[in-house]
Chain A
Amino acid sequence: MNQSIDVRGLSCPLPVVAVRNKLLEMKKGILEVLVDTGTSKDNITRMATNTDWKVEIKEEGEEYLLIISR
């Protein structure tokens, strides 16, 4: 089952830290992340790709859904 995490409204660096902790815990699988700022989207995408996770970005209105998988 896909896991999910909502980091909307959190200020830097909490979104990327929360996602990083979750990915370290999961080791593999799919994590859906709901993000509301470009900064968090960029930070999380960079962190995930640097640690060998694939990231798919879907724009949903003014928010983003990041689908992170390995």
Chain B
Amino acid sequence: MSRRCAFRIRIILYLLTTCFCFAGIAAAEQELTVSAAASLTNGFQELGKKFEAANPGVRVVLNFAASGALMQQIQMGAPVDVFASADQKTMEDAWRKNLMVKESCRNFVSNRLVLIVPGGSRTAVADARDLGRKEISKIAIGKPETVPAGRYAQAALTKAGLWEALHPKFIYGDSVRQVLDYVSRGEVDAGFVFSTDAVVAKDRVRVVAVMELEIPIVYPIGVVAATQKKELAGRFIQFALSAEGQEALAKFGFGKP
């Protein structure tokens, strides 16, 4: 009887400790969820660490995917506090759907679109015009509906009058980082990514050309309308715009807005 009693007490104690542990974590840490374009992956991992160091007790949770997919998640009620997109169109769509605090939105970095080939590739591709050659059979590109890098590539190729001719060769990626992965593994012959993505895999891919665009690539960031942590979210955006934040992002090749 007494043994059974001791067992019960132990169980209760165990449950209580677990509860206190969880409560302790919740009280000590404030969580900030940041949804950022896939191309911001390395830059924001650094930025997040710096922000945590400057704000003790805050934990930054990062969520990377194609900008269009992130906006869709926010629309479906994902608990996100800050949203950073790789293009203006996605952010404007988010405004139209009243998903963002409009006056909090700022442009914070700029980027360039580049054409890359696998590092070990012996092709003589020097610009987009060479992609029409026979030995180039597969070209990776972000899905234009959801991936900004894909939409920029579409604009650049349409402007050069190549979009229709190259269409059968496209392999669509779910995000710019998937395109980078396809090229760096040598599964495709070429691909369109941001210059900052090419930097991350510089030992496996080779940049052959910088694409000309009519509109500059500028990334906006803003506070999500549904968040309960508007003040903290605003502080993160200020941090991204600050000298320290800009320096962390410049390390990965991002330019000033």
A and B co-occur in one complex: no
Instruction: Give the interface of B toward A (CB within 8 A).
Output: none
Contacts from A to B (Cβ < 8 Å):
none
